[in-house]
Structure 1
Amino acid sequence: MKKTIAIAMGGYTSECDVSIQSGENVYEHLKNDYNVYQAHILKDNWYVWHDAQKYPIDKSDFSVVIDGQKITFDVVFNTIHGTPGEDGLIQGYLQNLNIKQTVAEYYNATLTYNKRDCISVLKAYGIPTAENYFYNQGDVIDADDIIKKVGLPCFVKANRAGSSFGITKVKTKDEIPQAINHALKEDDEVIIESFLDGREVSVGVINYQGEVKALPVTEIISENEFFDFEAKYYGKSQEITPANLTENETQSVQNLAVKIFKILKMKGLTRSEFIFHNGQPHFLEINACPGLTKASILPQQAKATGISLSALFSNAIEMA
């Protein structure tokens, strides 16, 4: 008997459209093997999109009634980037309803979504990272103190946002206030990081058939100043999979990515970003619910290692 799957997509942030693209791609690769429904989780409405119609989701038990039949779900395939799918809110809600879902559990998702907290935990395990400075909305902007801590150039980022929303590369002291205000449009917490000069790579780590497995490494060469939204989603970058690294470099960053996956008690499909700085991979961030669009990096990596997207997405459901 086929399992009944809800693909949760959308969310409440600037990443909503990208999330819907991820969800639609997952749907296309699962629809022949499962009873699959597209669950749109939007700020003002939760509904299932089925046969070109909207059917409201009953939030009391995450069910939907279609043609007089009540449908409940065995597993939720979570493709929501940002809140409430990547920051633990959906996970906690579904756990209370005893419904399985495909990504990290609520606490672990909350931790990884908060860049500042995640970096603080990983530093305690000796994971190399950039120097960083934390700013909260309402704090006095002390540009001299920021520069003293992280130097110039530096990156000013929204603490809890993805797809490079709310991020600026700052080159002068005068640019710092504007960059902070830009980040505050996405979140009331900001992280300011030192510039790491080196090659940027991305490593997918998945739980595949019960084994934690690093996928082939992708090198990211952006045509823009850094790997921003335009570079990610509008072709303004080269994404080379597998990356042109030495065997030792490949092994070191894959081992580090697997170690981080295990420290943070991740599950499902994840992707971590690193910069090779002075020959050593430095951790930037981890995506507990990474992009799964046709243009996204993790699907590229799965294909490079011989895992079809149907197998990748089906495995996430079975592991859940």
Structure 2
Amino acid sequence: MGQDKLKVGLVYGGKSGEHEVSLSTAFAVMNAFDFDKYELIPFYISKQGSWRIGSTLNAPFTQQEDLKLVDGEDTQSALNAVFSRLYGQEKPTVDIMFPLLHGTYGEDGTIQGLFEMADIPYVGTGVLTSAAGMDKVVMKKLFAEAGLPQCEYSYFNRSQWNRSEHELLQQIEHKLGYPSFVKPANLGSSVGISKAKNRGQLREAIQTALRFDDKIIVEEFVDAREVEVSVLGSDEPMASVPGEIVSSSEYYDYAAKYTDGQSQMQIPADIDPDTADQLRELAITAFRAIEGDGITRADFFFRRSDGKILINEVNTMPGFTPFSMYPLLWRETGVSYRELLDRMIELGLERYNRKHALLYENQV
């Protein structure tokens, strides 16, 4: 059967601030793969953006550090392997690419565009969905168009801030009040997020966020439970049971998500069945609002004062680390980690085949 194994290119690392998270995800995914069905080819992208391709694997690495030490060839060799279909190789080097890159250059549509240009199937959401899911402002506009309830927010870019700092601070205070949350518009995993309780903290939080992005979003504080739903599919997506995050810190920041292991996940969430069904329906609405295809995790606020459900955001490349909600929700729903990986690969191949059935020039 060895000859019939699907060759999967596992792409990890990357230039974003979430490089280490990507390594954790890649190591967890690699150890969950069924090596009777797949061969893995590791593609490591350094923090500087250079690529390395390793030898074909028929078993996972034993240590996470080995992911960085692929006895690899240089960027040119790695990209030659990615673009092998365009070079006319009879059998492509890789059958499908599996990007496990979090944040900038990974889940923002850029690597997806590279794979589209290389004419190679890939796992996860496409270019448009990835880009829309990464930009919190664009995402919120699409949610509004779909009629999804969400919290109040303001946004602006660096030049507007430099030109009209005082006016923007006044507008934010008038519209959102305190406390409020300041976020880079295009960064995942809660990097660069601050909570502001007064004008001094708000100004400082904006300066911090501007270190990570040129566009900033400020959101009103919502006293709420944080509930998440995993979505999987394309035209007929499925939603998992909801799970709840009980954060170890004042809010669900980077350390709470990935490093301290102290945040509690309650799966399934302790909510009534009707609310759970509503959350699953809203998660699918959010998935469709950004033209989802593959996977997303939808994050909601369940407001304590009146029980209203507000969409917070969707994540198109949720983590697969041991602390990650996405696979744990599916496990509770009856889909194992390994089955999940199988389905994600199937969806990537199905999308590739659908696109190849389309006409790209006037052939009639």
The one-letter amino acid of 1:218's match is G
Normalised by the length of structure 2, the TM-score is 0.82
Offset of residue 223 of structure 1: 2.3
Question: RMSD of aligned C-alpha atoms?
Answer: 1.8
Question: Share of identical aligned residues, percent?
Answer: 31
- 193, 214, 236: which one aligns with 1:188: 214
Partner secondary structure for residue 343 of structure 2: helix
Matching residue of 2:18:
15
Q: Deviations over 1:185-240 (max 9, x none)?
A: 211111000111111111111118x7411111110111211001111111231111
Aligned residues: 314
Residue-by-residue CA offset, 1:139-166 (whole Å, 9 max, x unaligned): 2323222111111111000100011101
Q: Distance in 1 between matches of 2:97 and 2:290?
A: 21
Counterpart selection for 1:251 from 250, 271, 277: 277
| Aligned equivalent of 1:102, options 116, 123, 131 | 123
Match of 1:111 in 2: 132
- Does residue 32 of structure 2 align to residue 29 of structure 1? yes
What is the match of residue 59 of structure 1?
A: 79
Aligned residue type for 1:39: F
1:38-67 superposed Cα distances (whole Å, 9 cap, x missing partner)? 211233311124475122344255169xxx
Which stretch of the first structure deviates more once superposed, 52-61 or 281-290?
Answer: 52-61
Equivalent residue for 2:143? 122
Q: Are the counterparts in 1 of residues 81 and 94 from structure 2 also a CA contact under 8 Å?
A: no
Q: Aligned match of 1:38 in 15, 22, 42?
A: 42
Q: Does residue 300 of the first structure (1) align with residue 320 of the second (2)?
A: no
Deviates more, 1:16-25 or 1:43-52: 43-52
Structure 1 residues without counterparts, runs of 5 or longer: 65-69
Kindly provide the amino acid, as one letter, of the partner of residue 133 in structure 2: T
Question: Where is the strand percentage greater, Structure 1 or Structure 2?
Answer: 1
> Which of 306, 312, 316 is matched with 1:284 structurally?
312
What does 1:263-282 correspond to in 2, within 5 Å?
Answer: 263-277=289-303, 278-282=306-310
Q: 1:123, 1:187 → 2: CA distance?
A: 23
Q: Distance in 2 between matches of 1:281 and 1:46?
A: 43
Are 2:236 and 1:231 aligned? no
Q: Which residue of 1 aligns with 2:247?
A: 222
Structure with higher Rg: it is 2
CA distance in 2, matches of 1:39, 1:270: 23
Q: Distance in 2 between matches of 1:87 and 1:218?
A: 25
**SS at 1:141 equivalent:** helix
Segments of 5+ residues of structure 2 without an aligned counterpart are: 58-69, 85-90, 349-364
Q: What's the offset of the Cα at 1:72?
A: 1.3
Measure, in 2, the Cα distance between the counterparts of 1:44 and 1:10. Answer: 9
Query: For 2:307 and 2:54, how far apart are their aligned partners in 1?
Result: 48
TM-score scaled by structure 1?
Answer: 0.93
Structure 1 residue matching 2:334: 3-state secondary structure: coil
2:238 partner SS: strand
Name the structure with the higher helix share: 2
Q: Which residue of 1 aligns with 2:360?
A: none
1:63–1:73: 8 Å Cα contact kept in structure 2?
Answer: no
